[in-house]
Structures are given as C-alpha cells and as structure tokens.
Amino acid sequence: MSEHSPLQFLPPHVVKLIVDHVAGSSRLQFDGITTDSEEYRELLIPLLWVCHNFRAFVHQRFCRGYALTLENDRDRAETRHYSWPRRFKELGYLTHFLAKELRVKLDIKSVYSGKALRLLSDAPYEGHSFPLVRKLRFELTSDSDGNHYWEPVCDDLRHDELEPESDADDDAATPKSHYVYPPDTAANIAAFVQRIKQMAPAVSEIDVSTYYIFPDFDDHILDLVRQLFGVVEKYTVISRGNCSMVMYLDLETIRDLVHLECSLDRYSNDLMPLIRHSTQTLQFLDLDMDDVDITGAVRDPDSGAYLEYPCLHTLITRSPPDPRPSQRAVFKDIVPFPRLLRLSVLSNYPFGDDVLFRGNAGTLEYLELRLLPETISMLKKYRVFTPTSHPNLKCVKLDLTYVFATVAEYMQFFLSIGPGAS
C-alpha cells in the first residue's frame, strides 16, 4: 500500500465541494488556489478530517506522533515528527491536527519558572490543540547542568528551610548547592497543566517517565505529577526508568491500572499496593526491581486473600525473589494469571511450585525463562511441561547460563515443552 492517499491530489473544486458540505464555505476561501500553493496544502486538513478512506488507510498506519522539547534555557519549543509520511510533514505545524500521540520532553525547572508555559503560549502553538491525541507521554528531565541544583544542604531539611552556607571553609571542604524556587512555582505548575489539558482535550492515557532521581524535599514535583495524572481518569503507565517516581504517587487512590512498567532501585516495596489495587484491570506488567519479591503481588498481606489477574496477558519480571527456595510461599490451588499470552522470567523463578503456569496452558504463546537446576527440578516435579500441555506455545527462549548439565539434558527439557516451540 502506498504511503500517500490519492485523495491528497483531488482537484481544488472537488475539495471545495466536500468542505462546503461539511464545514460551510464561509470558513475558508478557495478562489485562485493552485495545487502547488500553501493554501492548497492547508485545504487538506478539513478534507482529511471528513474522509473515511484517509482515516482507514493512511491515518491509522502513519501520522503517529508529535514531540515537543521544553527546556529552561531555550527561547522556543523544539519539535519533531515520528512515523509520518513525508508529504504530511510538509504541512508544518498544522500536523498537530492529525497526531495521535504527543510526547513532551520536559525540563522540570522550565515548569517551575513558567518558561514551559510561555513556550507553549507563543506562536505557532498559541490557541492550537491536538484534537486526536489520546496518549500523552512525558519525560521529566533535569537541566543541562545535571542534578546539582537539586542537592539538599542536609538530608533532613526541606527546601523551605534551606539557607546558603556561610562558612567558607565548610563550603570548600564539602561543596553544596540547592535550587531556589520561584515564588510563583505552584501557580506556574497549575497553569502549565491547564495548558496541557487545553492542547490535548481528548487524552485518555498518561505516561510519565524519568531517569533522574529527584530529591525527597521537592514537594513541587509531587504536585506536578499529581496534577498530570489528574488529567485522565485511568492511568496506563506510571513510570519507567531508574527513578523515585513512586514516592510522588498517592498509592491509595490510584487504581485500575492497565499497563505498568517500573525499573526501580529503591521504593520498590511501596509499589506492591499499586499492583494489588489493579488486579481486575492490569493487562501488562513489567517489573525490574532489586528489593521486591513478586510473590507479594498474588496475596494480600492484610487479609491473606489470594489475588487473581484475569486480564493480564503479559508478565515480565526481572526481580530476583527470595533466594532460599524453602522460604518461598507455595500458593496451593490458586490461578493468579489465567490468561497469560507472554511470560518472561528474567531472574530466578520466583515461586516454589507451578503457580505461574496454572490455568494458562492453553493461552501461553511466548515463554522466556532463566533456568537454574532447582528451577528445572521444580518444573519436572509439577509436570509443568508435557508434549501436549501448551498447544499454542510458539516461541521459547531459555537462559541456561547457570545450568551445569549435559547437552542431552538441555535438549530433553526443551523437547518436553512441546512440538510447537521454536
């Protein structure tokens, strides 16, 4: 299929008839338009809105996203397109009418200072919106100087208590710095979030990610994240990256997640309530956390009740469980993940029995396992795999780095998974 719809090349008088019928001729002027003129390209916008064939064959495949970069030391927003046909890029900033996804790389400092809002209020963005955008993706960054301005003078001080060091000798021995917040920071945050709502009025999905460790004393980023998540009623992705984003979330009120990816080196156990609050809606779960045991996701620590994730189709865990198999809980007679299509266990197998494989033998299509001798023993003991147990399994990847056995034993285990594996 061609990248470009033949509807782009309709003669102007045909475009006029279509647009007149839908929008009314008073909105646009068509006299004297030629196929090479800028006005003709602008006429494509209303045409694309009303043309079913364009939506079905071009818009669904292309015209994906629009990216903005807002930095405190820039005088204008940096923009780019991704997944667009070349001809539509020629429409310039008018392409925001067609974008389905909006990515914003956001310097936190620019929000606090009001610079981000000014960048979005200046031409060419003044008064413009992204009417088809359903997904907002924010990447929170620091400024070009790194995170140095975030350093607190003392860990137990809050930002409103920070004072410049007066002792020159102490400063020379232990250099310190801290960021002084503008007096109207809170108002700038609220105005920025309101502008985002105006720009993407139909958004239903929010993704906030960061690879920076923001400090505990920064209450304003807490306010920003809460307000960003307040744009939508359902959150699909909370955070990606080696960050402390989880500390900025009200875990007791955020529920019904659909998609969650987290890579955390701290605050990991704080994330478990967030997962347990989404048992009935979660479809995709990817965890890479050093200090958490995934077994905590299938049992409520308060009530002791076992939990089921009926909608989960993808589970990826890189989180090492308790290394002592005898200490792992054995969850008898429960089926926590009955509809898994994809299972990747990229650490030690987290359970002491077959709990990950119960009830999904007929649905599992992709399997990736890191095998240890005790894992193989467990899988054999519970007869997890037989030649006919997983008829829909299409792809199997085994990490045998830590298995000291013969090639024959490798092949015996692989063949036991079933003839559909490759």
Per-residue pLDDT of the chain (422 residues; tens, 9 = 90+): 334 444 555 555 665 555 555 444 444 444 444 444 555 556 665 665 555 455 555 556 666 677 777 776 677 777 777 666 666 666 555 567 777 888 888 888 888 889 888 888 775 666 667 888 888 888 887 654 444 333 332 233 233 333 334 444 444 443 334 567 788 999 999 999 988 888 888 887 777 776 665 555 566 776 787 777 766 655 544 544 444 455 556 666 677 778 887 766 555 566 777 788 889 989 998 887 766 677 778 888 888 888 999 999 999 988 766 555 555 666 777 899 999 999 999 888 888 888 889 999 999 999 998 877 778 888 888 888 888 888 999 998 888 776 655 555 655 666 666 555 54
Task: Quote the DSSP letter at residue 383.
Answer: T
Q: Are 282 and 312 in contact (CB under 8 A)?
A: yes
Query: CA dist 261 to 44, 244, 273, 277, Å?
Result: 39, 13, 15, 15
What is residue 236's DSSP assignment? S
**Contact (CB, 8 A) for 151 and 177:** yes
Integer CA distances (angstroms), 88 to 97, 100, 105, 185, 239, in order: 11, 14, 23, 38, 32
Radius of gyration of the chain (CA): 27
- Of the candidates 284, 278, 334, the residue with the CA atom closest to the CA atom of residue 304: 334
Query: What pLDDT is stored for residue 360 in this prediction?
Result: 93
**pLDDT score at 279:** 92
Tell me how far the alpha carbon of residue 62 is from its chain's centroid. 20
What's the N-to-C CA distance of the chain in angstroms?
31
The torsion angles phi and psi of 393, rounded to 5 degrees, stand at -70, 120
Identity (one letter) of the amino acid at 164?
Answer: P
Which residues have CB under 8 Å from 235's CB, separation 6+? 205, 206, 229, 254, 256, 257, 258
pTM above 0.85, yes or no: no
Q: Which residues pair with 274 in a beta bridge?
A: none
Please confirm whether the linkage preceding 124 is cis (ω < 30° from 0).
Answer: yes
Q: Is 315 helix (H, G, I), strand (E, B) or coil?
A: strand
